[in-house]
Amino acid sequence: MVPSIEQIKNNLKKSNFLLDCRLPMGYSQGLPILSIKNGCLCITFPYLKYQTTGEVDKTLVYPIRYAVTLELPTEKIIGYEDYEYRDAFKNIDFDKPVGLFRHKAIQQYDENQYNEIRKELMGEYDKVIQSILENADYTVSDEKRMRKLLQLLVEPSLLPMYQVIDIDFYKKYLSKG
């Protein structure tokens, strides 16, 4: 049986890997990226930090700094990257915020509504994973819904980083075109 996205996230959080690679305290998992690598389904969890300012909708969002990639369904860790050492990000100052949380598109939602939308998105990830690994049904409507939810929830200031990290995922789910 394929684990749910929430199970995968929790298993990674509990793994010794994050301690062993010395991922600094204060980094949070961003929205994951699904990809096919050498015929295997993989999931990449980007890590970034947020800093509260005490003002509503003014939490600072910093660039994605790290990423951990797992092969599914085994959850074997196949990659860890510090983007400070990637040429595509050489001009990014990881110590400077790139945006604010909550961006305009989600300011209309209270915390419970936001959490429900995020929960629905995690369910959409589960559908994609199940369709690939278990040949479960996945409709055009499912894909459109995942696209809509991702475009709503991903911080606009992080879109250029998602584009560089995985152009195929970006084109399929995050580009507006």
Map out the domains of the chain as residue ranges: 5-166
Q: SS3 of 166, please?
A: coil
Strand residue runs (E) in the chain: 27-29, 33-37, 40-51, 59-61, 66-72, 76-82, 99-101
C-alpha to C-alpha distances, 94 to 5, 15, 87, 109, nearest whole angstrom: 27, 25, 14, 29
Mean pLDDT of the 113-133 span:
97
How does residue 104 score in pLDDT terms, banded at 50, 70 and 90?
Answer: very high
Residues 35/36/38/40 CA torsion (nearest 10 deg): 110
Mean pLDDT of the 32-57 span:
96
Task: Write the burial class of residue 91 (CB in 10 Å: 0-12 exposed, 13-18 middle, 19+ buried).
Answer: exposed
Task: Write the burial class of residue 157 (CB in 10 Å: 0-12 exposed, 13-18 middle, 19+ buried).
Answer: middle
The pLDDT of residue 42 is 98
pTM for this prediction = 0.94
The pLDDT of residue 96 is 97
| CA angle (87, 72, 143) in 5-degree steps | 85
Phi, psi torsion values for 85, nearest 5 degrees: -105, 15
Enter the DSSP assignment of 86: S
pLDDT tens-digit readout, 3-35: 899 999 999 999 888 778 878 889 999 999 999
Residue 1 confidence (pLDDT) above 80:
no
